[in-house]
Amino acid sequence: MQRQTRQKQAIYEVIENAKRPLLANEVLGLASKSVPSLSIATVYRNLKHLLGDKRIEVVELPGQNPRYELAGMAHHHYFQCRTCDRVFEIERCPGHLQDLAPLGFQVEGHEIVLYGQCQDCCSPSSEEQTKLEPEASFNANL
């Protein structure tokens, strides 16, 4: 196990408190509030250590940069907002996916990603928000 540094602790706490998978740039923006001198290289180095310690996991969505969330969470899926690009957890699973497989095939796992607009981007005040860059709109919503 790696030693605990102020940077690593700030990065872990950001992921722990986010309640959704975060991009490295989102981690940097949020953790910089606690550790202003934080750089993206330091974020990636500490994400690697946290992954090695099995404290966080990588969330990989098709065509996207990796996101990071706490390790050991129950089975869940994701919703990605096409307006602000944030990803949210979906706790429920439709289950019974074996019925969708061709006859004689065996389902061994699945991943489900829903796409659309999040609650913030659907709200009437979201017009101003959508004019912001995705990272800026993320920070405005925290």
Integer Cα distance of 47 and 1 in angstroms: 13
For 44, phi then psi, to 5°, come to: -60, -40
pLDDT in tens, the chain (142 residues): 446 689 999 999 999 999 899 999 999 999 999 999 999 999 999 999 999 999 999 999 989 999 999 999 888 999 999 999 999 999 888 888 999 999 999 999 898 999 999 999 998 765 554 444 444 333 433 3
For 92, phi then psi, to 5°, come to: -85, 155
Both structure tokens of 13: 């706490």
Does the pTM of the predicted model rise above 0.85?
A: no
Secondary element (H or E) of residue 77:
strand 77-81
Q: Which domains does the chain have, with CATH numbers?
A: 1-72 (1.10.10.10), 74-142 (3.30.1490.190)
Q: Do 8 and 46 form a contact (C-beta atoms < 8 A)?
A: yes
Q: Do 81 and 114 form a contact (C-beta atoms < 8 A)?
A: no
